[in-house]
Homo-oligomer: A and B are copies of this chain.
Amino acid sequence: MAEQVSEQTTNRLSLYLRFLNELEAGGVRTVSSKVLAARFDLNAALIRKDLSHFGDLGVRGVGYVVADLRQRLRQILGLDRCLNVTIIGAGNLGFALADYPGFRKEGFRIVALFDTLPEKVGGRSRSGVPIHDIRDLKQVARREQITIAVVAVPAESAQVVVNTVVEAGIKALLNFSPGALRVPPDVKLKSVDLTVSLESLSFHLARGVDRPPRP
């Protein structure tokens, strides 16, 4: 378990888990690396390599037992416990994320929003997440046992906000601002680029999505 596992592998584990949720809901008992490979258009060797980081999860001749692999992936991804998350920036994006219904379902609890504007502090998001003053971040983070901060502020304030988050002792950051941000080596920063999704649509338009798939 001491081995380094890349960001790309972790992202794929998350996708495998989603597929396993579907399979389990559909009553499927076992799945092969070949089926997983076909579903994600990867190759079976890569899937087996991704999963082999975490011990011997497959059964020769059977593949993976869906329920076991699903439980193991939830454990590996740390989803077998509830994680408290804060969102920094009570703007449009911050509010949208605070009220995003998908997070809670997977065990993420949005417990606080932070902003600098006095007229926002003391208010709440539609789903009831309280807005605190960014100056109270350290104190609230400790009290609410916050382990993840989502940075949803304009690009020009992003680095200052990231520094404040790091000083508050939060070790995992999800960033929605464009541009490069610096964190110390003991802090994990992940950036979301929403453009990737639009590019995939652009590809389909360029190839003519109105052409139905060939039989």
- A residues apposed to B, CB below 8 Å: 1-2, 4-11, 13-15, 17-18, 40-43, 45-46, 49, 75-79, 83, 85, 91-93, 95-97, 99-103, 105-106, 108, 147-148, 150, 152, 155, 171-174, 178, 185-188, 190, 192-207, 209-214
Contact = CB atoms under 8 A, between A and B. Distances in A.
Given A83-B202, A95-B92, A2 B147 contact: no
Given A46-B46, A96-B96, A198-B174, A18 B209 contact: no
A205 B189 CA distance: 11
Contacts of A198: 83, 85, 103, 106, 108, 148, 150, 174
B178 A197 contact: no
Q: Copies per complex? A: 2
27 contacts: A5-B203, A5-B207, A6-B41, A7-B41, A7-B200, A10-B199, A10-B200, A10-B204, A11-B196, A13-B199, A17-B199, A18-B193, A42-B46, A43-B45, A43-B46, A77-B202, A77-B203, A92-B93, A92-B96, A93-B96, A105-B178, A105-B195, A108-B202, A150-B198, A185-B212, A190-B201, A192-B194
